[in-house]
Structure 1
């Protein structure tokens, strides 16, 4: 290898190290999407459950009564 070829190779290696693989692959997007949907589904179940509705109704009722305990 000559000096020019070595310089070109070193430049490519340095550029690869500095930039890295900045994006996600398709598989990583798929896993992230599935996790987000699962979390959204769980959150929806919690928010629409009776315990949350009862807690909010109790909070509103206490507020309308003057905040007594």
Structure 2
């Protein structure tokens, strides 16, 4: 739904301005956005489950659980 405003244009005529004609994403943009989000999730999953990151997270959790109060 587009909003319409009436205003004085050049030469003291009334002109109609339309706002929000392209508000939102189309179906193709949703598809591209979803594909990009899935690709980013796959890359992050591979990074987090890699050996060095997994070992660093395990050591961090172990140190946190064995910390003195």
Sort the TM-score into its range (normalised by shorter chain): 0.5 to 0.7
- Whether 2:61 is the aligned partner of 1:60: answer yes
Moved over 4 A (4+): none
TM-score of the two chains, using structure 1 as the length reference: 0.61
Which protein has the bigger helix share?
Answer: 1
Tell me the matched-pair count: 55
> TM-score w.r.t. structure 2 length?
0.61
Of structures 1 and 2, the one with the larger relative CO (CA 8 A, separation 6+) is 2
Over the residues paired in the alignment, what is the CA RMSD in angstroms? 2.2
Q: Where in structure 1 are there 5+ consecutive unaligned residues?
A: 1-5
| Whole-angstrom distance in 2 between the partners of 1:30 and 1:43 | 20
Partner of 2:10: none
Q: Gapped runs of 5+ residues in structure 2?
A: 1-12
Find the structure with the greater CA-based Rg.
1
Structure 1: how far apart are the matches of 2:48 and 2:35? 20
Structure with bigger strand share is: 2
Tell which deviates more after alignment, 36-45 or 48-57: 48-57
